[in-house]
């Protein structure tokens, strides 16, 4: 295995353990996780593999097949830069339980596509260290550890969805997660049995201001919840009454979060009833709400969604945090070519660089890799 060979070459011995953790797409439930709401992601076939050995000292030596020509040595946690922060953050959160480590990383999550390569990195490393040091952490605890690394070390105020999907998903299933109780159920999702595919359309555009806008949305939601006297927007039961008490951006944010939570529950209901072909309208409604009420879409995402629908998709929406990244389209097998062509033509017409197409099947969460 490539990552094991790279580990041997760099560090002169076999790794003690190797773990793989996937990225995710979110089927529905966007910007609901940090509002204590519901989400329905599934793990994608692409992820991060981490090969790790413990060290007795506190040094961390890190190698990435994608991002570093040779090993990077980190003596102090505070020295971490760029991608290494996601790894060092996990070690930093574990504190004295874990000293240093030698780590080699190999990943195939398309970069910048909004498919949670950072969560895959955090969870693969967290799971490997858990195994190596017998920490006894559950998959949900590994997800929480990854989220803390991202919140407190990297400084991105994300919710729990991406790490939970990476740690907890099962092949052939989506993960229905209550982000308040952290209760979850795996919902069977066999798209192929219904002649369907989930097409990921990577716009290959990522807007610079995304991080700042994400934090701003989160702050607006928290401010609206305070004004409404609820712990989180999840608790809004009288939407019309709540909207009467708010104005401007906060009003629109509440409209999105409350309706999106209902859409997640409705979509899970359809899946459980075996009506996967009927979920398209909910995907479309989610996109319009993210575009118009939550204002996190982008011209590239909107065009990917509109052109997919014109090409015959049953439903489509942006997925993930927004401001670029990917859209997903639910497409009948015999319409795949027509949807791809419709999106490509629409991008060409605007003079935009061609998007990248991938097909996502619900895949397994974090697991050890034999080597």
Query: Which residues make up the interface to ligand GAF (CB under 6 A)?
Result: 30-31, 33-34, 158-159, 161-162, 320-321
Distance CA 91, CA 84 (A): 11
* Residue 122 annotated in ligand binding: no
> Please, what is the minimum distance in Å from the beta carbon of residue 218 to ligand GAF?
8
101 versus 233: smaller Cβ distance to ligand GAF:
233
> Please, what is the minimum distance in Å from the beta carbon of residue 244 to ligand GAF?
27
Residue 102 is encoded by which pair of tokens? 């030698």
Beta carbons of 362 and 173 less than 8 angstroms apart: yes
Residues in the chain: 371
Residue 63 is encoded by which pair of tokens? 């190698």
* Residue 33 annotated in ligand binding: yes
> Please, what is the minimum distance in Å from the beta carbon of residue 166 to ligand GAF?
11
346 versus 366: smaller Cβ distance to ligand GAF:
366
User: 162 catalytic, yes or no?
Assistant: yes
Residue 200 is encoded by which pair of tokens? 């990921």
Active-site residue, selected from the candidate residues 36, 102, 162, 202:
162
* Residue 67 annotated in ligand binding: no
* Residue 342 annotated in ligand binding: no
> Exposed, middle or buried by CB within 10 Å (0-12, 13-18, 19+), for 281?
middle
Distance CA 264, CA 253 (A): 17
* Interacting residues of 331 by C-beta distance below 8 A, sequence separation 6+: 196, 197, 198, 199, 308, 312, 313, 314, 339
> Please, what is the minimum distance in Å from the beta carbon of residue 188 to ligand GAF?
23
Distance CA 107, CA 95 (A): 26
* Residue 214 annotated in ligand binding: yes
Distance CA 164, CA 23 (A): 10
Active site residues: 162
Q: Which residues are annotated as a binding site?
A: 30-33, 64, 112-118, 150, 214
Q: Which residues are annotated as a binding site for Mg(2+)?
A: 118, 150
Q: Which residues are annotated as a binding site for substrate?
A: 30-33, 214
């Amino acid at each position: 295995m490539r990552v094991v060979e790279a580990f041997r070459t760099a560090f002169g011995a076999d790794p003690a353990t190797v773990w793989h953790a996937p990225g995710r797409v979110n089927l529905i439930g966007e910007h609901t996780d940090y509002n204590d709401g519901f989400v329905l992601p599934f793990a994608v076939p692409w992820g991060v593999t981490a090969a790790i050995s413990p060290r007795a000292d506190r040094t961390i030596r890190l190698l990435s097949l994608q991002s570093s020509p040779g090993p990077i040595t980190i003596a102090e946690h505070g020295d971490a830069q760029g991608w290494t922060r996601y790894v060092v953050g996990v070690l930093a959160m574990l504190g004295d339980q874990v000293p240093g480590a030698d780590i080699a990383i190999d990943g195939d999550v398309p970069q910048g596509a909004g498919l949670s390569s950072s969560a895959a990195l955090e969870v693969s490393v967290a799971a490997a260290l858990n195994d190596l040091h017998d920490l006894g952490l559950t998959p949900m605890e590994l997800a929480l550890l990854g989220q803390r690394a991202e919140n407190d070390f990297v400084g991105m105020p994300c919710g729990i969805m991406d790490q939970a999907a990476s740690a907890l998903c099962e092949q052939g299933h989506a993960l229905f997660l209550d982000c308040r109780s952290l209760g979850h159920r795996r919902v069977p999702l066999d798209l192929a049995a219904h002649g369907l595919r989930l097409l990921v359309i990577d716009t290959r555009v990522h807007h610079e201001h995304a991080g700042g806008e994400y934090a701003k949305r989160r702050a607006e939601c928290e401010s609206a919840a305070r004004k409404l006297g609820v712990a989180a927007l999840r608790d809004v039961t009288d939407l019309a009454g709540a909207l009467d008490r708010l104005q401007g951006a906060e009003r629109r944010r509440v409209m999105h979060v409350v309706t999106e939570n209902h859409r997640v529950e409705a979509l899970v209901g359809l899946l459980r009833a075996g009506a996967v072909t009927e979920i398209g309208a909910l995907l479309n409604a989610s996109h319009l709400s993210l575009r118009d009420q939550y204002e996190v879409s982008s011209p590239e995402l909107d065009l990917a969604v509109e052109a997919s629908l014109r090409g015959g998709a049953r439903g489509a929406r942006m997925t993930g945090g927004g401001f670029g990244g990917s859209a997903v389209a639910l497409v009948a097998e015999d319409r795949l070519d027509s949807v791809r062509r419709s999106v490509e033509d629409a991008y060409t017409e605007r003079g935009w660089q061609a998007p990248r197409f991938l097909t996502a099947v619900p895949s397994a969460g974090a697991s050890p890799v034999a080597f």
